[in-house]
Amino acid sequence: MNLTKLQVQLAIDEKRSKRIYPDTKGKITGGIGRNLTDRGFSDDEIDLMFKNDIAFVERELDLNLPWWRQMNDPRQNVLANMCFNMGMPKLLGFKNTLAAMKAGRYEDAATGMLDSLWASQVHDRAKRLAETMKTGEFL
């Protein structure tokens, strides 16, 4: 088998898609013909996507909230966790909470986190992250 030629042929025949879509038989598909309905992802593929997603979050935070690197590691992790969970556009909606973080008013930031719709959706996650923001220590 000529792997290079097969890759070229399959890339043409299957198309490349960065988004998932239903194929002609209704199977959820993505990438280059990956049948996600029946095959899914291997552990190493999940780990690679996870690593890439965390790197994406870091870049988003650096671009949109450059002051986040001034906080200690536990508090940086809180922001990265929130960004990973809800995405940067929604995170930027936490205007007062982010302003409190930037100013070092971490108790106010924790209160703002808990007084949000997000907290009512993610429950224990919000409580844990708010406590970490307040104390500056990993739980």
pLDDT at 72: 98
CB 126 within 8 A of CB 114: yes
pLDDT at 45: 97
One domain for residues 17 and 82: no
pLDDT tens column, 20-31: 999 999 999 999
pLDDT tens column, 71-130: 999 999 999 999 999 999 999 999 999 999 999 999 999 999 999 999 999 999 999 999
One domain for residues 114 and 60: yes
Domains: count for the chain: 2
Three-state DSSP class for residue 30: strand
One domain for residues 28 and 56: no
pLDDT at 8: 96
One domain for residues 124 and 67: yes
CATH number of the domain enclosing 55: 1.10.530.40
How many other C-beta atoms are found inside a 10 Å radius of the C-beta of residue 62? 11
One domain for residues 16 and 76: no
One domain for residues 108 and 61: yes
One domain for residues 13 and 79: no
One domain for residues 92 and 127: yes
Residue range(s) defining the domain that contains residue 71? 43-135
One domain for residues 73 and 9: no
pLDDT at 133: 98
pLDDT at 58: 98
pLDDT at 120: 98
One domain for residues 98 and 60: yes
pLDDT at 118: 98
One domain for residues 123 and 64: yes
Rounded distance, CA 50 to CA 63, Å?
20
- Prediction pTM value: 0.91
pLDDT tens column, 45-80: 999 999 999 999 999 999 999 999 999 999 999 999
Amino acid (1-letter code) at residue 52: N
pLDDT at 67: 98
One domain for residues 91 and 118: yes
The C-alpha angle with vertex 137 and arms to 131 and 139, in degrees rounded to 5, equals: 65
